């Protein structure tokens, strides 16, 4: 064991009270030595004459200094986290104690006891600062050297060298076992400098710092930088095998100070490269404010986020229509706590026409967002009749009631899986789109009612989404299972999807199918690898057999496509006033949807799954022909 390691362990295991006592004892002895050395320097004699008067004044120097040191907090500081700025406190403390001692010396001189040369106080001050300050920073150096060896240490870096980063480091200094090794910044002017007592390193030194100090975590304190640069930084640090977390912009915090519990995990959507477009406030206001709005499937992922958004715009009332009791209880309790609007919970199924009519008519519903559906592809594939009954006939029931009750706007939440579907869930969603288009044609005969559908891809974090599954598997130590790493999917955040759905509904003129801009599709294999790296682990594969978590390929499941589409024909997509929302051109085919619904209903009554599946796919396989005008 090295001497430094021995001293580090000795300092670490010594109780806090004894550390203070030993430090006071050291300071007392050091100041006595400083005074002796001052006389020796003055007289150029390393064995100066020590009289009783000089001994008495020599004892007074540390007796005066120790209370001053206590008062100025020199014994409260944790040496491991002692900032460089502490030298100024030590200088002030030594200056005050030396001044008091000089005053006493002056009084003795006035009494005819001129026993202290005038240069001695200056030597005493300089040597005292050197010994008192040097001892503390030497202890800090001993404790800091080799950080990461001790199991209870949590060494980390902060990416960013602005005032907010220093403030964050200061808060973290006294929180648990966290130890901020330094700051990392892109600006070359900061490199090698100390900012707030922390050394600033360039990004290219990250691998060396991680290896040298055993860095376990990097916190990003850089929310004010441009989005593209932020994504580049996340990509840079995500492959280093350390945990990456971030903090909200300091201006977002009510009290203006960083709090440790506001450090959060990096969300996977921060790597998707999606540009942010602020919502059009007028569109949201026009369709929500002072309206009676109903959301079916209000307790689901999209449904609940829609409810949160709607409640913020102070509708006249918000009807929560949900078949799952616990999900309804949870969203109802959450919204009532916000107090933004009247909330009406309705526990019922969308297949119950009487309950749907009661909810709409009794509350005078003006706008309906139909989010209720079975969406999990493998489960719906294994339960075909239930999927058809809920997704097709549930939609038909709500749309029929809404049409007859005079609802102004009806919005179907559809899916990219409705485009050229290969699974039952996607096929039922396509049927739902066709039902809404049929109802829109009926509504157009009377005027004043608009039926539309909004089609988009996966939302991050939704129930049944791959992201929560990957996160759970990573938390359990792996493996992370993917059906096919080359499979691609579109992703967006739930909040963005909800805002775009409502804005699209405000632009509806009837019969529209709106398509949300989902950005670039994401390869599932890359998604899994990024999530593993963001959690601070390495991917174990043939190239890296010592990695932490393995990715296992399980093979595609029934009905899954390698890639999803948002358009039947991308060339027919029209722009709208919102850059993230497109409108599909209307198309038609020789379809008798009423007759097809009757046949499909018969197959469900007879529990004939094979027939139901046949009708489901045969009907939507009829070729589509674009109309001459946009819907």
The answer to whether 351 and 390 have CB atoms below 8 angstroms apart is yes
Say how many C-beta atoms besides its own lie within 10 A of residue 116's C-beta.
24
User: In this model, does residue 205 exceed pLDDT 90?
Assistant: no
Does 76 or 189 have the greater pLDDT score? 189
pTM score above 0.75: no
pLDDT, tens only, 270-317? 555 555 667 888 888 888 989 999 999 999 889 999 999 999 888 999
Residue 246 CA to residue 260 CA, distance in Å, equals: 11
User: In this model, does residue 326 exceed pLDDT 90?
Assistant: yes
Structural domains in the chain? 3-144 (no CATH), 154-266 (3.40.50.720), 281-623 (3.40.50.720)
Q: How confident is the model at residue 75 (pLDDT cuts 50, 70, 90)?
A: confident
Q: How confident is the model at residue 78 (pLDDT cuts 50, 70, 90)?
A: low
* Average pLDDT for 331-359: 91
Q: How confident is the model at residue 163 (pLDDT cuts 50, 70, 90)?
A: confident
* Average pLDDT for 174-199: 75
Q: What is the pLDDT of residue 400?
A: 94
Q: What is the pLDDT of residue 496?
A: 83
Q: What is the pLDDT of residue 562?
A: 74
Residue 606 is classified by DSSP as: T
Least Cα distance to 374 among 353, 345, 349 occurs for 349
Identify the helix (H) or strand (E) that includes residue 173: helix 163-173
Mean pLDDT score of the chain:
79
Q: How confident is the model at residue 405 (pLDDT cuts 50, 70, 90)?
A: very high
Collect all residues with Cβ–Cβ distance below 8 Å to 32 and sequence separation of at least 6.
Answer: 58, 59, 61, 62
Helices (H), 447-486: 466-475
């Amino acid at each position: 064991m090295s001497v430094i390691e021995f001293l580090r362990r000795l300092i670490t295991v010594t109780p806090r009270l004894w550390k203070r006592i030993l430090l006071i004892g050291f300071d007392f002895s050091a100041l006595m030595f400083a005074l002796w050395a001052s006389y020796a320097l003055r007289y150029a004699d390393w064995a100066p004459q020590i009289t009783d008067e000089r001994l008495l004044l020599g004892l007074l120097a540390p007796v005066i200094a120790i209370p001053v040191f206590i008062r100025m907090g020199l014994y409260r500081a944790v040496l491991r986290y002692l900032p460089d700025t502490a030298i100024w406190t030590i200088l002030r403390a030594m200056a005050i104690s030396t001044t008091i001692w000089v005053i006493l010396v002056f009084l003795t001189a006035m009494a005819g006891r001129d026993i202290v040369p005038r240069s001695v106080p200056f030597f005493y001050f300089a040597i005292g600062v050197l010994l008192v300050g040097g001892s503390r920073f030497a202890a800090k150096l001993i404790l800091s050297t080799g950080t990461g060896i001790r199991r209870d240490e949590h060494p980390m870096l902060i990416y960013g060298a602005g005032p907010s980063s220093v403030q964050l480091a200061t808060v973290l200094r006294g929180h648990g076992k966290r130890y901020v090794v330094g700051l990392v910044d892109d600006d070359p002017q900061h490199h090698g400098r100390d900012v707030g007592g922390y050394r600033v390193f360039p990004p290219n030194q990250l691998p060396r710092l991680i290896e040298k100090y055993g860095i376990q975590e990097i916190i990003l304190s850089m929310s004010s930088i441009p989005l593209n640069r932020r994504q580049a930084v996340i990509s840079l640090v995500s492959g280093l095998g350390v945990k990456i977390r971030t903090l909200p912009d300091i201006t977002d915090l009510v009290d203006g100070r960083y709090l440790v519990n506001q450090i959060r995990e990096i969300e996977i959507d921060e790597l998707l490269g999606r540009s942010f477009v602020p919502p059009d406030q007028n569109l949201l206001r026009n369709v929500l404010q002072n309206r009676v709005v109903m959301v079916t499937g209000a307790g689901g992922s999209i449904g609940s986020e829609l409810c949160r958004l709607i409640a913020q715009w102070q509708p006249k009332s918000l009807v929560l229509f949900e078949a799952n009791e616990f999900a309804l209880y949870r969203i109802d309790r959450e919204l009532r706590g916000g107090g933004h609007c009247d909330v009406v919970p309705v526990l019922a199924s969308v297949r119950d026409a009487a309950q749907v009519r009661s909810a709409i008519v009794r509350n005078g519903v003006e706008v309906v967002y139909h989010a209720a559906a079975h969406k999990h592809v493998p489960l719906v594939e294994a339960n075909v009749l239930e999927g058809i009954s809920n997704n097709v006939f549930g939609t038909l029931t709500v749309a029929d009631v809404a049409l007859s009750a005079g609802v102004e706007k009806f919005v179907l939440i559809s899916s990219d899986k409705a485009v050229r579907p290969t699974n039952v869930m996607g096929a039922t969603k396509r049927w739902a789109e066709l039902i809404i288009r049929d109802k829109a044609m009926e509504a157009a005969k009377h005027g004043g009612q608009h039926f539309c559908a909004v089609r988009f891809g996966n939302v991050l974090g939704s129930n049944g989404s791959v992201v929560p599954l990957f996160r759970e598997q990573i938390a359990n130590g792996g493996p992370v299972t993917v059906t096919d790493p080359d499979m691609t999917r579109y992703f967006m955040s739930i909040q963005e999807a909800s805002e775009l759905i409502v804005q699209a509904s405000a632009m509806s003129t009837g019969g529209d199918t709106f398509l949300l801009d989902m950005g670039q599709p994401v390869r599932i294999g890359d998604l899994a690898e990024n999530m593993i790296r963001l959690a601070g682990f390495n991917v174990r594969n043939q190239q890296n057999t010592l990695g932490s978590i393995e990715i296992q390929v399980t093979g595609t499941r029934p009905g899954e496509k390698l890639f999803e589409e948002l358009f039947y024909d991308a060339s027919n997509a029209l722009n709208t006033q919102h850059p993230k929302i497109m409108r599909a051109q209307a198309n038609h085919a020789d379809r008798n949807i009423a007759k097809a619904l009757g046949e499909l209903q018969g197959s469900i009554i007879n529990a004939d799954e094979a027939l139901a599946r046949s009708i489901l796919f045969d009907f939507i396989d009829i070729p589509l022909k674009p109309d001459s005008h946009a819907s």
